[in-house]
Amino acid sequence: MRIAIFAAGGLGKVICDALKKDGSHDIVGFFDDKKKGKFFGYPILGKCGQYQALCKRLNIQGLIVAFGYFFLDKRLSYYKKILNSKKLHLVNAVHPKAIISDDVKIGQGIYIGPGVIVNPGTRIGDNSVVWSGAIIEHDNIIARNVFITPGVKTAGYTKIGDNSFVGLAANIAKSNIGKNVTVAAGSLVLSDIKSNSYVCGVPARTIKIKKRLAYV
């Protein structure tokens, strides 16, 4: 399948690298609103808003969204547009050095990096990102548009809600984490976390409730 990537940044680079190493897709290039020329050895095809016409002209069938967490509105907007398209498909970028159990259920538009371990019974929802070296134990439920950053470890039966972000090397025990939650780097989560919370510390405690819309 001929595919392109939104957008040309850090996440786009690691997604492109995983796709190259997997070798199952033909990478045509990137869409980006600021960059021109080439990025990571591939052409910038045009601005993000031009993707429909360019996909048709260049015979691109698949797309993956690589906007980071700080661009959540753009990330979700393009995810929804592709999801609702009749001619374009959301593709996954799974690094070949990730270890994923055979019965893990993975959605669409997902990136899973090198060294990641995902154990049996786990579900990972659409548009989520699992960065390098994370360990997702058995029977986890990772919802849509969740960011799991490098070195995160989750115990069995953990649940993480839509749009949540788990910072570097955080550890999560058997906990139910709501939507739109931010877990700060290095935190140890030992209990359930309400939606829209920002938590940090060892053990983690709620610092504030964020006033942010749930996008999905």
Domain map (residue ranges) of the chain: 2-90, 93-203
In the CATH hierarchy, which top-level class contains the domain 2-90?
A: alpha beta
129-152 pLDDT per residue, tens: 999 999 999 999 999 999 999 999
In this prediction, residue 205 carries a pLDDT of 94
In this prediction, residue 208 carries a pLDDT of 82
Question: Two tokens at 127?
Answer: 């548009």
Q: Which CATH architecture has domain 93-203?
A: 3 Solenoid (2.160)
CA–CA gap between residue 67 and residue 75 (Å, rounded): 5
Question: Two tokens at 50?
Answer: 């031009």
In this prediction, residue 42 carries a pLDDT of 98
Give the pTM.
0.94
CA–CA gap between residue 164 and residue 143 (Å, rounded): 9
CA–CA gap between residue 46 and residue 73 (Å, rounded): 20
Could you list the pLDDT tens digit for every one of the 216 residues in the chain? Answer: 999 999 999 999 999 999 999 999 999 999 999 999 999 999 999 999 999 999 999 999 999 999 998 898 899 999 999 999 989 999 999 999 999 999 999 999 999 999 999 999 999 999 999 999 999 999 999 999 999 999 999 999 999 999 999 999 999 999 999 999 999 999 999 999 999 999 999 999 999 876 654 332
The alpha carbons of the chain give a radius of gyration, in whole angstroms, of: 17
Alpha-carbon distance values, 52 to 24, 112, 133, 152, 197 (Å): 23, 26, 35, 36, 37
CA–CA gap between residue 110 and residue 27 (Å, rounded): 16
> Amino acid letter at 13?
K
